[in-house]
Amino acid sequence: MHASIPPNTVEIDLGDRSYPILIGGSLLDAPTTYADLPPATAALVVTNSTVSPLYAQRLRTALQGKFRSIHTVVLSDGEAHKTWQTLNLIFDSLLAHECDRKTVLFALGGGVVGDMTGFAAASYMRGVPFVQVPTTLLAQVDSSVGGKTAINHPLGKNMIGAFYQPLKVVCDLDTLQTLPPRELSAGLAEVIKYGPIADLVFFDWIEANIDRLLARDPAAMAHAVKRSCEIKAWVVAQDERDYGLRAILNFGHTFGHAIEAGLGFGEWLHGEAVGCGMVMAANLSQRLGLVDAALVRRLTALIQRAGLPIRGPQLLAGSIAHGAAQTGAGSSRKLSNADIYLAHMRVDKKAEAGEIKFVVIDGPARASVRSAPDALVREVIDACCDGR
Ligand code: NAD
Ligand code: GLY
């Protein structure tokens, strides 16, 4: 479709687990896209009820000739289905079709399908190969790259999972044309993220091109996906297992994950929660004296122009585990919004012994991980959220 946009390849360098990220138009249908995969028996296409009618048959057609048998499992759509129960449907399908260890799983969809398919691939027979075919902007610029796979637990986001790298990532930019506008904006949150943490030139470019991105201009999309993947590949190559540098990719996510869990998964989109979470994390960075107000205003304005919420919501008290909010010895006072945010953030994966860690901006295109006094975090929540 976009013949004027030549395909690009970004390599992610992980030794014997290195792989290419293909970026371009018309990649989904092309048998050449899959020609270099190792010899395999069966393919299992994992997708969902929205993406399946749009793209599954085209992928299956492209895979014919490469695989003796091609099966498909169609999951329910949505973050609320990123669960053990849904994951088990992938195992049910693999076992029902007597799939062996040379079966390749194809994750066709957004980050929810990609994260669950990757986790299924990591676990089935202790590991079978898989290919990411991301069809949302968020999945193309972030979740399909880097090997983080997971499902949610009702008490915490992405709490059960594994690091497991795909064989390749296929970003067909044409698929972005069918994305609902709200999902496009959610993906832009993860694109914007790369600016303040790693690349001011890219930040400037996003500001100058946000209208083209919202209009899905193919050349602008191609650049945004490629530069985002380059930055992510650069970070992951240095810290695949998330012991240090990789945490910067979680800018906005500590607050964002609290929003997702605190409203019930699926109420706000992941990218919406991350967009608003970046506003809150930038505000915290300013209160810690790390950045000036001008950068916070600039980032907030860009997030708003991308169609994302910039005010945090009031979270649901019932969303936290019984006893999780310590409001003071013997206290029976009503939980404040800040209490609920803090309770969720204490189970964030970056937290250590209950001490919450935040990704903050601490210079131009530079981020780091820090703790902050609860009182200061409460100030941020009160200043950035609707309701107390
Ligand atoms: P999603 O997977 O729910 O997809 C968003 C919506 O778009 C869904 O309704 C989906 O069916 C639909 N859709 C997908 N492709 C479409 C297309 N081409 N046309 C029309 N509709 C389409 O959400 P997402 O934003 O892609 O991913 C969010 C998930 O990714 C979260 O669970 C988040 O935790 C995870 N994530 C993981 C990582 C990681 O490193 N593994 C990074 C970021 C986010
Ligand atoms: N999206 C965060 C990471 O991949 O580490």
Which tens digits make up the pLDDT trace of 117-175? 999 999 999 999 999 999 999 999 999 999 999 999 887 789 999 999 999 999 999 99
At residue 332 the predicted structure's pLDDT band, cuts being 50, 70 and 90, is low
Share of the chain above pLDDT 90, in %: 87
Q: Is the CB of 134 under 6 A from ligand 2?
A: no
* Class of residue 88 by CB neighbours under 10 A (exposed 0-12, middle 13-18, buried 19+): exposed
- Location of structure tokens 């299924």: 120
At residue 322 the predicted structure's pLDDT band, cuts being 50, 70 and 90, is low
Give the ligand 1 atom nearest the CA of 157: 34
**What is the predicted pLDDT for the residue at 156?**
78
**What is the predicted pLDDT for the residue at 5?**
60
**What is the predicted pLDDT for the residue at 155?**
76
What domains does the chain contain, in order, with CATH numbers?
A: 8-177 (3.40.50.1970), 191-384 (1.20.1090.10)
Distance from C-alpha of 141 to C-alpha of 144, rounded to nearest angstrom:
7
Q: Ligand 1 center to residue 79 CA distance, Å?
A: 8
Give the ligand 1 atom nearest the CA of 136: 15
Assess whether pLDDT exceeds 60 at residue 365: yes
What mean pLDDT do residues 335-346 have? 95
Contact assessment for residue 194 and residue 151, using Cβ atoms and an 8 Å cutoff: no
Q: Is the CB of 166 under 6 A from ligand 1?
A: no
Our mutation pick for probing the ligand 1 site, out of 50, 190, 229, counting the most ligand atoms within 8 A of Cβ, is: 50
Assess whether pLDDT exceeds 60 at residue 289: yes
**What is the predicted pLDDT for the residue at 1?**
46
Dump pLDDT digits (tens) for 162-215: 999 999 999 999 999 999 999 999 999 999 999 999 999 999 999 999 999 999
Mean pLDDT for the chain overall: 94
**What is the predicted pLDDT for the residue at 329?**
43
Assess whether pLDDT exceeds 50 at residue 320: yes
Q: Is the CB of 254 under 6 A from ligand 1?
A: no
Pairing of strands 19-24, 8-12: antiparallel
Q: Is the CB of 230 under 6 A from ligand 1?
A: no
Give the ligand 1 atom nearest the CA of 50: 11
Distance from C-alpha of 40 to C-alpha of 128, rounded to nearest angstrom:
10
Assess whether pLDDT exceeds 70 at residue 103: yes
**What is the predicted pLDDT for the residue at 349?**
83
At residue 325 the predicted structure's pLDDT band, cuts being 50, 70 and 90, is low
**What is the predicted pLDDT for the residue at 66?**
92
**What is the predicted pLDDT for the residue at 39?**
87
**What is the predicted pLDDT for the residue at 83?**
97
Instruction: State pTM to two decimals.
Output: 0.95
Q: Ligand 2 center to residue 332 CA distance, Å?
A: 38
Closest CA to 218 of 32, 8, 374: 8
Dump pLDDT digits (tens) for 31-75: 899 999 998 889 999 999 999 999 999 999 999 989 999 999 999
| Alpha helix ranges (H) inside the chain | 51, 57-63, 84-96, 111-123, 137-138, 181-198, 200-214, 218-238, 253-263, 270-287, 293-305, 337-345, 374-384
Residue 105: strand, helix, or coil: strand
Assess whether pLDDT exceeds 70 at residue 96: yes
**What is the predicted pLDDT for the residue at 323?**
59
**What is the predicted pLDDT for the residue at 304?**
98
Tokens encoding 20: 């290419």
**What is the predicted pLDDT for the residue at 6?**
62
Assess whether pLDDT exceeds 70 at residue 309: yes
